[in-house]
Amino acid sequence: MTIPVLYVLQSLDIGGTQRQLLFLLKGLDRRTFPCVIACDRLGELAPDFEALGAVLIVLRGGRHRWRDPRGWLRRAWEVFRIVRRHRIRIVHSQWPLYALFGTLAGWAAGAPVRLLSIHGHWLRPTDRRILRVLRPFLTAIVEGTPGCIDRLVAQGVPRRAFRLIDYGVDGSLYDDSGLPARARRRLGVPDDAYVVTRVSRCFPDKGVGDVVEAAALVLDKAANAWFLVVGDGDELPRLVARARELGLGERVIFTGFYANLHEVLAASDVLTMTSRLDELGLATLEALAAGKPVVAYQNGAIIAEAVHHGENGLLLPGGDVRALADALVVLHADAELRRRMGRAARRLYESRYGLDAFGRRMGELYGQLVGRR
């Protein structure tokens, strides 16, 4: 039996949600679950999805201005027709706003299962209103961490609405033993450097500035340390200016947007997670797959699901730049500790966050839900 699945989202640009969906399709049994993707626009990842056999459909409603209700009505009509034409059994929307028309159109067209993945644990007032409207029409909300579910429940979403499926990433990208050296040359980093990386959009709540401040402290004790700040965002110009003010020179490389994240992680010795929020982040899972220790602020329980203090990384008090610098100096001084933590990180990836396991878990959920309808 085949169970066609429709994924509804904004775009196939490179982003956390899109890459997570790509990883899912790599692990999913695509003969059992043929995939259709409906989005406002294609993007850099479109060829990767097509290579996996996904049917890509651009919604004409996406041409309207964001606040124009005609655009949302047209999107709903288009999704309705896609569900009918492709005999879709599962509509899996990404983000509440796109579930507003994806779920309702799927229900109207007769898709027996309508799912939502929120991809976050902070709901805006608009999101809360949308979820109240959708509650009678949603089969389930699928999320990837118990901590995320707890936060959403605390904001009023019923716990019974959730299904927990651990996320997965592609560890095969790191099987090439020559990748770290090639990636370092491409990034302009010496072969013998100690490389600390932060992957994040540069927004205030991401705490990227703490890595820049810590860099100045680390370089006093670790002369061969280099820092990679990977991502764009509103704060990037200020961070570049601050690095210049601190006299960090070439030792902090701001890559801006960087498409091949696996190259950055392969070139790194340590990944930092300095968000002010309690979040896991896809880059954390990819660091596990790459066999890299993670030094993270612990602002709650979510990050601790993947970073186990003293085993595959270090957890620090949120916002403590001095503790961040000290932890990075400790790892710089002890290469064997880094290797041991890296091996533990890879073992955790293989046991919990691998592609095959991710696809199998989601496929089992899809099959169970369709079987009940």
What residues pair up with 199 in beta bridges, in sequence order? Answer: 230
Token readout for 62 is 């996406």
- Please report the pLDDT score of residue 266 as a whole number: 96
Q: What is the pLDDT of residues 81-134, one digit of tens each?
A: 999 999 999 999 999 999 999 999 999 999 999 999 998 878 999 999 999 999
Taking 90 as the threshold, does the pLDDT of residue 16 lie above it? no
- For residues 293-322, give the mean pLDDT: 93
pLDDT of residue 25: 96
For position 22, what pLDDT does the model report? Answer: 95
In angstroms, the first-to-last Cα distance of the chain is 15
For 315-356, write each residue's pLDDT tens digit.
999 999 999 999 999 999 999 999 999 999 999 999 999 999
Residue 145 pLDDT more than 90? Answer: no
Tens of pLDDT, residues 156-192? 999 999 999 999 999 999 999 999 999 999 999 999 9
What was the pLDDT predicted at 280? 80
Q: Check residue 291 and give left, alpha or beta (phi > 0: left; psi -120 to 50: alpha).
A: left
Cα–Cα distance for residue pair 230/236, rounded to 1 Å: 10
Helices (H) and strands (E) in the chain, counts: 14, 13
d(CA 312, CA 297): 14
Q: What percent of the chain has pLDDT over 90?
A: 84
Quickly count: other Cβ atoms within 10 Å of residue 216's Cβ. Answer: 18
- What are the start-end ranges of the H helices in the chain? 16-27, 46-51, 69-86, 96-109, 125-134, 146-154, 179-187, 208-219, 236-245, 261-267, 282-290, 321-333, 335-348, 355-371
Question: Cα separation of 109 and 76, whole Å?
Answer: 10
Instruction: Give the global pTM.
Output: 0.89
Between CA 355 and CA 26 the distance in angstroms is: 7
Give the pLDDT confidence score for residue 302 in this predicted structure.
80
Output the pLDDT for position 373: 62
The pLDDT mean for the chain works out to 94
Rounded to an integer, what distance in angstroms lies between the CA atom of residue 133 and that of residue 96? 11
What is residue 69's predicted lDDT score, i.e. its pLDDT? 84
What is the pLDDT at residue 71? 87
**Residue range 215-219: mean pLDDT, rounded:** 97
- Per DSSP, the three-state class of 98 is helix
271 falls in which pLDDT band (50, 70, 90)? very high
Q: Give the integer Cα–Cα distance in Å for 181 and 170.
A: 20
Look at the chain and count its residues: 373
Tokens 């569900």 locate to: 83
Domain architecture of the chain: domains with CATH: 5-168+354-371 (3.40.50.2000), 171-353 (3.40.50.2000)
Quote the CA–CA distance of 98 and 116 in Å, as a whole number: 9
- pLDDT average, residue stretch 262-275: 96
The residue-averaged pLDDT of 40-60 equals 95
pLDDT at 339: 97
Give phi and psi for 316, each to the nearest 5: -125, 160
- Counting Cα atoms < 13 Å in the Cβ hemisphere of 275 gives 17
- Give CA separation, 362 vs 120, 165, 199, 262, 368, in Å: 18, 7, 27, 24, 10
- The number of angstroms, rounded, from the C-alpha of 155 to the middle of its chain's C-alpha atoms is 22
